[in-house]
Amino acid sequence: MRISIRGEDFILDPSGALFWEAQGALMLADIHLGKITHFRKHGIAVPRAPITDFYVRIEKLIQKYPFQQLYFLGDLFHSNLNSEWDTFVSWSQKQAFEMTLIAGNHDILPAQAYQKTPLHVVENLVLGEFILTHHPEEHTPFNLCGHIHPGIMLRGPGRQGLKLSCFFQRPNQLILPAFGAFTGLHLLTKSVDDKVYILGEKEVFAYPNEP
């Protein structure tokens, strides 16, 4: 789905990625690499299969969008160092595009760990009329952010309910969905001034439907 914000065109991808055409930039939020291995090390039985999910999905995005800049809007890695970081380091060193991490509350790795990657690590970044942060913040520039893992509850005619991941747009802010496969959702309530874009399997849908 294509939307316009402050005169700039963005594509909302059903993976949860945001593509900014004029900047040649792809943005991802809340990947939480290392979370599965972290849980398993502490005796919590979770499947290993989602560990490779990020790499399968990002390779599809590399083929789909002509981006030169990849921005991680925080919480790239979930916790302390484990073997999943080594996998990310190896992958990152093979890429031709530049990468910037807007540090989130989970990004607690030591500086020397990031130095093994091409990542530029910053607290926030201003690009024209936009500011990139991890936590949602109120700024004069429009805020592109993550952290919340936004979701919306769709209600059926009975008591049925379906929780779905979404892009959540407030008047001066767009919160990206969590890109990670093992992250959970935080349900938000849409106000009259908000816009919600739900992630479908192959498309993104405005909710409620807009003309």
Domain harbouring 197, CATH code: 3.60.21
pLDDT of residue 35: 64
Sheet with 2-5, strands from edge to edge, namely 2-5, 8-12, 18-20, 25-28, 69-72, 98-102, 119-122
Q: Which of 136, 137, 107, 112 is nearest to 122 (CA)?
A: 107
Give the structural domain span for 197: 2-207
Count CB neighbours of 42 within 10 A.
Answer: 8
The answer to whether residue 98 scores a pLDDT higher than 80 is: yes
Residue type, 137: E
pTM of the model: 0.90
Total number of domains in the chain: 1
| Mean pLDDT rounded to a whole number for the chain | 89
pLDDT of residue 147: 96
Dihedral sign (CA 89, 94, 95, 98):
positive
